[in-house]
Structure formats: structure tokens, C-alpha cells
Structure 1
Amino acid sequence: MKTQGKYGVTAQSTATILCEDVRNFSTRRRNMLYLMHRYLLENGYYSSAEALKNEGRLSDDFELCDNVDLDAIYLEYASFFNMKFGKYPRILKKMSAKIKVERTTGAATAATLTATVASTTAKDTSNKTNKDSSSLANWHVGVGAAASQINNSMEHQQSNQLKLHIKKLETTTTTTEQQQPSHYSGMSEIEHGAHATDDALFCSMDWQVLGELVKTTILREPINLRWSDICGNHRAIELIKEAVLTPIDYPQLFAHGLRPWRSLLLHGPPGSGKTLLAKVLYAETQSRVTFFNITASVMVSKWRGESEKILRVLFHMAARRTPAVIFFDEIEGLTSKRDRATDHESSKRFKNELLQLLDGMEHNTLGHGVFVLASTNLPWDIDEAFLRRFEKKILIQLPNALERSNLIQRLLGASNVSLNQHLLDQLVALSDQYTGDEIRLACKEISMQRVRCATRPSPAGGAVPKETQAIVEANLERAFKQVHPLGQKLLAKHEQWQQENGS
């Protein structure tokens, strides 16, 4: 049952009525007129208030609420704007450039007009020390005098036809604005491509703020990784190289309509190395490719419609900074199935916008220097429409015995742990069905055991006993047995999904 309010009106019905009042144009217009009428009365503009009341047909049947006035609404809007964009709004701006009047017919009248305008210009030049408002007023007075002279000339010369041309004066301010447009002051680092119409996207300050937010996702810190640091997954590495590096190294191969892979989805158990592939790609192409690392915290906004705008700005900036890579980590959080009853309207709008940007008519940038790389642990939770957008879907496999052996030797060799072939074979057997990250954790536990022995206080009057080979082997086996592999629980499900949906 609906809870009844104090005066017999339910809270839901009251909210519905107020919502209809806000959406109704005539109601909004009436409310604004009453706000202006109250403001004029409070500031002493009685004649203006009376004229507004008569022209706006305001009746005495309504009055403003006690807690609403025009000044309070102004302050509320300024506070909201500052909280959202980090700056206060600009309400007023300067007028456009000045104009001058010229006459093109009638020699005598043109000479008289030129003399009049010249005298007006001389008068304005002599008063340069005055304020801008005074100079502008004097200039308009001069133009009025010139126009009056023209009218008098027209009365005396009915046969002559007067033609006036209004031109924009070339001032220093306008020249500066032509050299450096003001609406690009906050986005000077964005390169502009062939699509000139898209450059109007950043004319508004709202879009410029979103552009600055997207620029924070561009990775710039150096990472010391190489392709050789990855054990296995050669097919995924080759596909990534074909999509990103081959078009850069051999552009002539894609000059006749052939397009490289535009999107790739990596799926597999947690810790199998999906994010590591993205890190290595960034490290290998840092100086040649713009890398966008996108997470849900950047894409999702609490403001209505802003998440879709962030997506549009992201793909726009990627198209202007080609070659570019957009990496979505844990993409199932953004691309879940759309037929769920628990989905909010904003979530559906966001997904529809992403679908349109990935493969739509307006932004057909993928395959033209923009590559989308995504990773997920739960590919079966992704909507089928998004799965169709990914041209390649690759399963990141668990390392085999040879790859595990190379990985263990590399990790333990950095800790100065000596391994014989028999002990190495035992560790490889113990690490069966381990992911690469789980092997790293086991090797890290071995290194920490050595740190504990080095920092352990020695017995009084004696040295620390040296560990025997049997103790070292027992510690190594204990470290690997402490790790409980999680990948084997999901590997069968990933393999089945790859057979049904992979490519």
C-alpha cells in the first residue's frame, strides 16, 4: 500500500504532479515570469515590474513560495556547475566585433559619408584612454550621425540609389581569435584528422571536461616487459601483432581495401596472463601507439547521459591519435546481457551507445588505426551482440609442462635458488593445472622463506645453522603445495565456451 501523507496526498502522486510541472513548457514559462517579477520588485524596478505583469498577463491568484527566488536559483546552479566541472559558469560574454557603414554609389554623398566616418574615427582615437563601454557608445553615436547624414542626402537626391554594406572591422582581438580559436584552448593536444565536422564536438566546455577525463586513461609510464617474458599463448601473441604491429611496419599491405583485425577478446581463468599480454603490447609499442586503459570507474558516471558522452569522446580521441589501442579490462562489467530485468535504463543506453561505436554507421573508425582489446574471466555473461563485434575470441591456455619448467627456472633463478633436474621435475609435476600467476606466487613464497631465514635472530653465542639440501627441497615442495589452483575449476567451462563461440 502507498503511504498517505500528512494532508491526504501520497508522496508518489505529489512527485508525479511536480514532475509534470517541470516538463510542461507553459508552466515553466509562467514560473520564470513570476520569478522575474519578484526580482524586479525587490530591487526597485517598479515600472519594469508593472510592465512585465501587464505584458505577461500575471494574475494575483499565484505567488512565489517563500524559499524560492531568482538569486537563490542562480547560486544553486553555480554551485552545481562548480561541483560537476570544477569551475564556476560564465553567464555573460562580450559582444561581437564592431561594424562600419559604407556607401558605394553617389560620389558627393560618398565623400560626405567618408568625411563623417573619418571624423568619428578620429574622435574615437583621441578618446582611447576612456573605458571600452564609453568608446563603444561614442562609436555608435558616430555611426548614427553618419546614418542621419545618409538619410538627408537621400531626401535631396531621389534619383540616386543608396547601397549600404556592413563589414566587420579587423581588430587585434579578432585576429588573435582567428589564429587560435578559443574553443580549442583546453584541447590543444588533440590532433585533428580528416573528419572536420567531428571537431565541433569539443566546442562545448562540457565535452572539453570529458576530454580531459579520457586523457587520464592514456598510459605514459614506461614498463620493462618483452614478448619473451610470456610463456606460451603464441597464437594470441601472433594475432595481436597482426592487428597492431603489422599495419605499422607494412602499411603497403593494407592499402587496397584490406583491413587488419579491429577487435580481439581474450578469455580464460583468472591469472592466466590476459592483462600481461596487454602490458607487453603497451611496452613494445609505447613510442608508436596511443594506449587507452579503460576501466568501469572512468566510463560510469552518476550524471544522466554522461557515460555515453565519455564513450563518444573516447572513440573520437582514439581516431585522432591513430594508431591507437583501447583496452577494456574485465569487460563483462560493461557488456552484460541486456535482457536482464535488473538492468537500469542508463545501463541499457550505455550498452547501446557502445554497440553503435564498435560497429555503427557514424563512427566507422575501427580497422582504420584503432584496435579494441578486451579481457574477461566470464565470457558467457557478455551479451551476444557484443560477442559479434569481436572478430577474434581467443582462450588463454594454462602453461604446459615445458612452459612451467621455463617459468619456474626464470623466477627461482632471480632468487638465487639452485635447482637440480630431479627437483625441477617434481615442481613441474606439483604445478600441474597452475596458472602463470599461481606459479609466481609459489616462487615468491620460496623467496620469502629465504628472507625469513636471513632475518631470523641467531641463537645466543652461535651461528645460524646452514640449511641442508633436504630441507631446501622440503621447503620448495611445501611452497607449491600451499597454493590451491583455481584455474582448473573454470578451465573446462572456458574450453567448452571456446568450442561453441570462439574463433
Structure 2
Amino acid sequence: MSFEQDKRSLYERRRNILYLVANYFSIMGLNQSRQALLDETHLTEEFEVCDNIDLDTIYQEYCSYYLLKFGKQPRVVKRNESNAVQSAVPALPQRKQSGYRKRAQPTGKPLAVAPRGEPEADINDIKGLGTNLVVSQLVNQQTAPLPIEAVNPVPAVAKITENGNHSATTMASLRPFIRLHENYSSEWKELADVVCRDLIKKDLQQRWSQVKGLDSAIKLLKESVITPLQYPQLFVGLTKPWRCVLLHGPPGTGKTLLARTLCSETRDSITFFNATAATLISKWRGESEKLIRVLYDVAKFYAPSIIFIDEFDGLASRRDSVGEHEASKRFKNEFLSLIDGLDSGTDDERVFLLASTNIPWEIDPAFLRRFEKKILIDLPDAQGRSSIINELLPEYSDWSAKQQEELERITVHFTGDEIRIACKEASMMVIRDQIGQGPQPANLTVRPTAVKFTQLRAALDKIKPASLGLIEKHKEWNRKYGNGP
């Protein structure tokens, strides 16, 4: 059994090396050498090279390990001084210009590797994924080369109607992981992969019409993100779109709901990052600063982009607080320079920062200064509460005006989420009533039944509003520092 395991391990190791070599040949444009390798080794489409590894990465990590262990760089090749060996080595064939790609020199704009037969293109024009190659593209020679749009999709801005809905023609998805260009080190490529895990790739099924009682905040978000896409000629110079908006208010008032809706409504035209402390904070010295910089680099690469940070006070607390760690200060300083630094705010790097917090008074004043709009997400008014209940329980519109007025009076200090919980509890009462009617078959199908006023009234009595004291503190802070609509 041990012999069989060793034999299988040897086979897998050699097979993986061959796949890595074939992938490297394709990246370097050595198409003839790659084809010869494929023909001789019979590689199939059963396996593909993972995104987080290549020969260049392995080589750099080996050099780092050797330098750390022996204090010097390793020697990989040496001059061959044997004439006999030199005469025995055949001359290398000339590489065709069409299949060869020159390695880009370190410049401000990297070059993306185009498919065979296509010219090289600037990465800011393509906005694609670079050389994100798989083995199926290497070994399947019967398939015609992919067009440039298939490998590196061009992010054409989606057409958005006046009510914020998307038209039928939308841009190609930009959601796959980014393979940064070859001038980046393996460390920065790895950090970019970590950051790209926060990309929202799916439709969250949330629309503006479903959000009730937050009209002023919705209007400002559309003004900051959607309207500049519709009328870019109007938002120039002093009227550039808002770049930083802070949403503050008690828990449950709808701050995260607004972010979810903005992500759903703009997912075909804007790249959305849901950045969290788990992604941006690292235990390794200096890596947190690199992560926040990589996040902004990737967001600028895929501009227009939205970076949403929930519970922003956890990342941007006051720097003068007692016990503030040096690593936390360095991270915040780097973050501040990226939000409003020398290279921020250019026309071709539109990055919108959206943050939310329950305790804005804990945020460092330097961060507050950079937020152009600080919006209080207040408790819903009577009309807003009525709209929320009607959205969750359609039968609400059939109730009498007296019953509706009573519900508005009972929920005067409720947040939107507390009203949702009450409506859910009332719906669960309907299910409990149907299940509790004696023995039921195993394949019981619950009949949809409308929620009654008495059930919702009983559900509301079970919930105590928890934000009454906190909302007064938010209003006081908003009078001093807020500048929302």
C-alpha cells in the first residue's frame, strides 16, 4: 500500500508540474513550445491550474525561503563550459512574432496579454482580468481563439432609466477574481485575491420600491451614484458627484438595507465591494495598510466602484484614545491618505465610499471631515410606518382606517426592522394556528391565510422599542455635525 501511494504521489507531482509549465508557456507567448508539450504529454481538460499559483510565484517563494535560510540568493542556472554539451544542444527555433508577448516594463499602466493573433491593449481600455488562463484553453486546440471581448470584457456603462431601473442592455459582468498584471509581486496578487472575496457578484433582489420611509436618503444616494452615470456631462468641476457618504442612526433603521438596494440597482454598471474588518485587518505587521491600498487600487481599476463598510466606527475610531495601538494608527493614516490624498479624486478613478455606523461620535474627526455628506437615518414617520406594514402585509390595506391609525400610534417609536419582526411574528401566529388544529399528516401543506389585525396587535405588544434613547443622541449629534438633505 505504501508503494502504491508513493507511486500515485509521484504521478500527481509530475502531472502538476506539466500543467504549470504549459500555463507558463501560454503566459509567455511560447505557443510552439506549449503545443509540443501538449502533444507529447497528452494533457486533458480534466484539471486546470488554480488561480493562486504559477511558476513565477513558486520561484519567488523559493528564493525568499533560500534567502531566509542561508542568507543569500540561490543559484538556479550556471554557465555551461563543456563544448561537447554545447554542440549536442540543438538550436532553439525562432519564435513567431504573432505568438510572442514582450514582458511589460514597469510603468504606470500595465499591459494585458491579449489572445493569440490580437494586438496588445492598454488595461485601462480593456478593464479585464488579465491572463486568467485555464488548462482547457491550453489543451483544447480544436476550439477557435476567443475574441478579445470574451477574455477581457469591456465595461460599458448600463443604460439606466429615470426611475432607476436597468434597461435590457447591460454591461458584461466584472465579478470574477482579478489577476493583477505581471509587474505585481506574488504578495500583492495574493492580497488582491483576498480583497476580491468582498466583491458582491449576485443580485440581492432588493429594489428602491421596496424601501419605505427613507426617501431623502434614497434621493441623495441616487444623486451620488446613479445620476452621474445618466448625465456625466453635468457632473464636472465643482459639481463632481459626492465621493464619501456616512449613514448614521440607531440599529434597525435601514442603513444596511440602503446599501443592499444600491448594490442590487447598480450591479450591472458599478462594481460593489462589501469591505469588512475581517478582510482589512491582519495580524501581520504592515499588511493591514497594504490591504486597504490594494482595495482602493482594485476599486480604481474597476471604476466606477462602490466601497461599502458597515460598522465604520470599528475601523475609524479616534486615534487619540487611550491604549490606541501603533498598528491601528498606521492603518488609519493610510486609509485617510487614500480617501483624500494627492492621487485621489481624479476623473478616471471614480470610487464612492459608503459607510454606516450606530455610534458616529466614536469616529475620528479626520474621517468625519472627509465625509461630504453625513445623513441621519431617522425612525420612520407615521406614513413611513404605514408603508412598511403595507409592503410586508398586503392585507393591511383592507383594514379599517381606525385600525390603521391605531397601529400607527402603537409603532410611534419603532424602527423599520422592529416593525418587520412584528409582522413576521404575526405571520408565524397564522402558521401556529393551522398546525395546532389536531393531528396533521406528514405532508401537511399550510394554506396561505391573511394576517388579522388582532394578531399584528398582539405581536406589537411583545416588542419593546430599543432605540428611543439612542435616537435623541443621534439627533443631537446630527445638529452639530450632520449635513444631510
- TM-score bracket for this pair, using the shorter chain length: 0.5 to 0.7
Instruction: Evaluate the alpha carbon distance shift between residue 362 and residue 457 of structure 1 in structure 2; reply closer, same or farther with a 3 A threshold.
Output: same
In structure 1, C-alpha distance between the alignment counterparts of 2:348 and 2:95, rounded to whole Å: 46
Q: Tell me the residue number matched to 1:421.
A: 401
How far the C-alpha of 1:476 sits from its partner, in A, is: 2.3
* Correspondent of 2:366 among 376, 379, 385: 385
1:24-73 CA-to-partner distances (Å, cap 9, x unmatched) read xxxxxxxxxxxxxxxxxxxxxxxxxxxxxxxxxxxxxxxxxxxxxxxxxx
Identity score, percent: 41
In structure 2, C-alpha distance between the alignment counterparts of 1:201 and 1:178, rounded to whole Å: 11
Instruction: Evaluate the alpha carbon distance shift between residue 95 and residue 408 of structure 1 in structure 2; reply closer, same or farther with a 3 A threshold.
Output: same
Q: Pairwise mapping of residues 62-461 of structure 1 onto structure 2 (< 5 A)? A: 89-91=61-63, 127-128=89-90, 176-178=100-102, 192-193=123-124, 203-256=184-237, 258-365=239-346, 368-413=349-394, 419-458=399-438
Q: Tell me the residue number matched to 1:488.
A: 468
How far the C-alpha of 1:365 sits from its partner, in A, is: 4.7
Instruction: Evaluate the alpha carbon distance shift between residue 97 and residue 479 of structure 1 in structure 2; reply closer, same or farther with a 3 A threshold.
Output: farther
RMSD value, Cα: 3.9
How far the C-alpha of 1:292 sits from its partner, in A, is: 0.6
How far the C-alpha of 1:350 sits from its partner, in A, is: 0.5
Which structure has the greater CA radius of gyration? 1
SS across alignment from 1:254: coil
Whether the aligned pair in 1 keeps the contact of 2:399 and 2:453 (CA below 8 Å) is: no
Instruction: Evaluate the alpha carbon distance shift between residue 366 and residue 433 of structure 1 in structure 2; reply closer, same or farther with a 3 A threshold.
Output: farther
Whether the aligned pair in 1 keeps the contact of 2:213 and 2:388 (CA below 8 Å) is: no
1:440-478 CA-to-partner distances (Å, cap 9, x unmatched) read 000000000011111114279xxxxxxxx9x95443222
How far the C-alpha of 1:272 sits from its partner, in A, is: 0.2
How far the C-alpha of 1:221 sits from its partner, in A, is: 1.0
Uncovered stretches (5+) of structure 2, i.e. residues with no partner: 1-52, 64-73, 116-120, 126-179, 441-449
Whether the aligned pair in 2 keeps the contact of 1:97 and 1:174 (CA below 8 Å) is: no
Instruction: Evaluate the alpha carbon distance shift between residue 307 and residue 396 of structure 1 in structure 2; reply closer, same or farther with a 3 A threshold.
Output: same
Instruction: Evaluate the alpha carbon distance shift between residue 313 and residue 176 of structure 1 in structure 2; reply closer, same or farther with a 3 A threshold.
Output: same
In structure 1, C-alpha distance between the alignment counterparts of 2:262 and 2:480, rounded to whole Å: 28
1:242-286 CA-to-partner distances (Å, cap 9, x unmatched) read 111121111111345641111100000100000111111111101
SS across alignment from 2:388: helix
Instruction: Evaluate the alpha carbon distance shift between residue 362 and residue 472 of structure 1 in structure 2; reply closer, same or farther with a 3 A threshold.
Output: closer
How far the C-alpha of 1:368 sits from its partner, in A, is: 4.2
**Could you tell me which amino acid in structure 1 is paired with residue 409 of structure 2?**
A
Instruction: Evaluate the alpha carbon distance shift between residue 476 and residue 258 of structure 1 in structure 2; reply closer, same or farther with a 3 A threshold.
Output: closer
In structure 2, C-alpha distance between the alignment counterparts of 1:308 and 1:389, rounded to whole Å: 19
Whether the aligned pair in 2 keeps the contact of 1:261 and 1:367 (CA below 8 Å) is: no
SS across alignment from 2:306: strand
How far the C-alpha of 1:370 sits from its partner, in A, is: 1.0
In structure 2, C-alpha distance between the alignment counterparts of 1:345 and 1:369, rounded to whole Å: 31
**Could you tell me which amino acid in structure 2 is paired with residue 395 of structure 1?**
L
Q: Tell me the residue number matched to 1:22.
A: none
In structure 2, C-alpha distance between the alignment counterparts of 1:312 and 1:97, rounded to whole Å: 42
Whether the aligned pair in 2 keeps the contact of 1:184 and 1:202 (CA below 8 Å) is: no
In structure 2, C-alpha distance between the alignment counterparts of 1:385 and 1:446, rounded to whole Å: 46
How far the C-alpha of 1:173 sits from its partner, in A, is: 11
SS across alignment from 1:326: strand
Whether the aligned pair in 2 keeps the contact of 1:262 and 1:366 (CA below 8 Å) is: no
In structure 2, C-alpha distance between the alignment counterparts of 1:432 and 1:237, rounded to whole Å: 22
1:497 paired with 2:477, answer yes
In structure 2, C-alpha distance between the alignment counterparts of 1:222 and 1:97, rounded to whole Å: 58
In structure 2, C-alpha distance between the alignment counterparts of 1:303 and 1:433, rounded to whole Å: 45
In structure 1, C-alpha distance between the alignment counterparts of 2:112 and 2:233, rounded to whole Å: 37
In structure 1, C-alpha distance between the alignment counterparts of 2:228 and 2:345, rounded to whole Å: 18
Instruction: Evaluate the alpha carbon distance shift between residue 495 and residue 226 of structure 1 in structure 2; reply closer, same or farther with a 3 A threshold.
Output: same
SS across alignment from 1:302: coil
Instruction: Evaluate the alpha carbon distance shift between residue 96 and residue 498 of structure 1 in structure 2; reply closer, same or farther with a 3 A threshold.
Output: farther
How far the C-alpha of 1:233 sits from its partner, in A, is: 2.2
Higher helix fraction: Structure 1 or Structure 2? 1
Whether the aligned pair in 1 keeps the contact of 2:104 and 2:183 (CA below 8 Å) is: no
**Could you tell me which amino acid in structure 2 is paired with residue 301 of structure 1?**
S
Report which stretch shifted further, 417-426 or 397-406. 417-426
Instruction: Evaluate the alpha carbon distance shift between residue 174 and residue 293 of structure 1 in structure 2; reply closer, same or farther with a 3 A threshold.
Output: same
How far the C-alpha of 1:125 sits from its partner, in A, is: 8.0
**Could you tell me which amino acid in structure 2 is paired with residue 246 of structure 1?**
T
How far the C-alpha of 1:362 sits from its partner, in A, is: 3.7
TM-score, normalisation: structure 1 = 0.61
